[in-house]
Structure 1
């Protein structure tokens, strides 16, 4: 029995929901596993290597409320798929090296009839086997999925679940045959918005080539001698939300060794060659950005009088344009105070922000 409760003015203890939720989350099997999980494959090789080598996390955050809410929502979604649509859920899959838990699986008709008598409403037609992964997302993250589609890592994950099912990786299951290949013809990703419940679904036929790419990625990590031998595949804290929430970010980016409020990415400037490469990347990006801004500005002017609506593959909508309410005029205030002979209140100006200038050195003949 935990004692982290607060007492209100009535003297009645109030259990701390989030402290308990974080304790519960850290005791989940997925939080403790040391085999490589499909959800880690395709994200960042160094992060995956920390997991494989059993590195103790350096950053166990106590503010992962959104992630825990997603876990609770996830459990409810799987219950609906199981009880109302006949899915087998939370299937433990492993080949002894990779360990994962497929969210939902619909067996082909002949296996389904032999294994289960639950409702057939919403099941895949004919003899198709379908494996599904469910992901809860913030509205902003869901918008990225709508605009760009699933990431490579997400396709890797659901294809690996299919691969493990197809190669007899199902373990200790009461209804389906274990240790035997199970058919999977379609892989599906279902995204559910945490704020408003929007649902976005992507599915495709199972692709052996995608599985081979995912297994090659995993093999690279599994054969690494140590985590530091693996590259950082993401941009780092402040630039990647995955890095911001990584349990190994301090170890990976040496955050405990930073000084002078410098960015974590400064550790990548190891020598003059690295600095030169960063300058080249900055100059190249600045030139592309400048050209893109000019094109965008011209297109914006052209569209200024266009009505909202759908034009081919694009949807145009407008927002704003309403009158703003009056706001204080600092310059007028200063003039009034000076006219009254009153000293103008001042505060520390701090430091100006550092600006960078990168230009190409002219080539000499």
Structure 2
């Protein structure tokens, strides 16, 4: 009989390796076909022309972040939603559509039946804050472009490689739908409308502008840049686009590259002055409305919901002034640290016209 007892010893739970979920999730996400496609995708049309041009020209991404947890959670939720639409409601899902230049994958499509028209649907997962914006303002332009382009490609015979639907032949798609699903609580907001040829023409004209570009840098930046746009913050080309590697380590904003001459600076000053005047008037209106609501109970009032938070007692805090007095009374030197620099304050005023 063997005297080796190691085989019978329990394995220590503390030493069992735990696979890193997010490292694996990011590797999986980057290996997806969509992450590697180089044709112009409907999801990119209407968003930012320079970003779309980077994709079209095959520019290597400079910013593949390892903290895209929300986006990956959205992908997993998205896959589950499409499975339910297919298994429970008979939708055809993940339809590959192309006209040889634009390549996309429509989330769901229902063929016409009786009095029910053909419907193409795009599913989007959103944070609660973003979902609230959809409720208040409706779909963004690029979202309408995307779902209308799916319908356009279906209507013009752009379906490829499908086991149940005829490929290369026009299919009816008279209704477009965008289904928004909240990632936190599962709220659902649906936008549905008749297919609109005018929206498709606008989307195709936008795409044509990018397709005609000789290089990405010839295309304008359509968004406000890192720190001001969530889309820019998460763009895989943001360092290249905004020249982040060349910025000095002095806290200079990426947007300073836009103020390249006197004309651009003058334009920015005009925008700043105009916005400041509007902001000042809006703050006064907001301050008055806030004071009017100070005694109002939480609840729904017409198209608005009022809620309150905060108002709780704070725990005691150290009294810096009292501590200084104590140290001075004891004759002890007060510890000091560098104060750094004060924030730069901008001053913009209009120059009176000569006259």
Structure 1 residues 176 and 355: CA distance shift in structure 2, 3 A = same
Structure 2 distance, partners of 1:193, 1:338, is: 57
Spell out, residue by residue over 1:89-130, the C-alpha distance to the aligned partner (whole angstroms, 9 max, x if none).
0000001110000001111116xxxxxxxxxxxxxxx23111
Q: Does 1:174 align with 2:163?
A: yes
Q: Does 1:87 align with 2:77?
A: no
1:1-365 matches, within 5 Å, as 10-109=14-113, 126-259=115-248, 260-365=250-355
Structure 1 residue runs without a partner (length 5+):
1-7, 111-125
Spell out, residue by residue over 1:142-189, the C-alpha distance to the aligned partner (whole angstroms, 9 max, x if none).
222222221111111111111111111110100011111111121111
SS at match of 2:222: coil
Report the Cα offset of residue 10 of structure 1: 4.7
Structure 1 residues 340 and 147: CA distance shift in structure 2, 3 A = farther
Report the Cα offset of residue 337 of structure 1: 2.5
Spell out, residue by residue over 1:258-285, the C-alpha distance to the aligned partner (whole angstroms, 9 max, x if none).
1132110000011011111111111111
Report the Cα offset of residue 11 of structure 1: 4.2
- TM-score, with normalisation over the residues of structure 1? 0.90
The CA RMSD measured in Å over matched residues stands at: 1.6
SS at match of 2:293: helix
Structure 2 distance, partners of 1:9, 1:250, is: 43
Structure 2 residue runs without a partner (length 5+):
1-11
Structure 1 distance, partners of 2:174, 2:185, is: 31
Spell out, residue by residue over 1:39-97, the C-alpha distance to the aligned partner (whole angstroms, 9 max, x if none).
00011000000111111111121221221111111111111111111111000000111
Structure 1 residues 318 and 10: CA distance shift in structure 2, 3 A = closer
Aligned residues: 343
Structure 1 residues 20 and 309: CA distance shift in structure 2, 3 A = closer
Structure 1 distance, partners of 2:170, 2:322, is: 78
User: Which one is further off, 304-313 or 150-159?
Assistant: 304-313
Structure 2 distance, partners of 1:226, 1:104, is: 34
SS at match of 2:164: coil
User: Which one is further off, 228-237 or 14-23?
Assistant: 14-23
Structure 1 distance, partners of 2:337, 2:327, is: 16
Structure 2 distance, partners of 1:172, 1:9, is: 49
SS at match of 2:94: strand
Report the Cα offset of residue 358 of structure 1: 0.5
SS at match of 1:13: coil
SS at match of 1:102: strand
Instruction: Name 2:6's counterpart in structure 1.
Output: none
Instruction: Name 1:5's counterpart in structure 2.
Output: none
Structure 1 distance, partners of 2:251, 2:294, is: 43
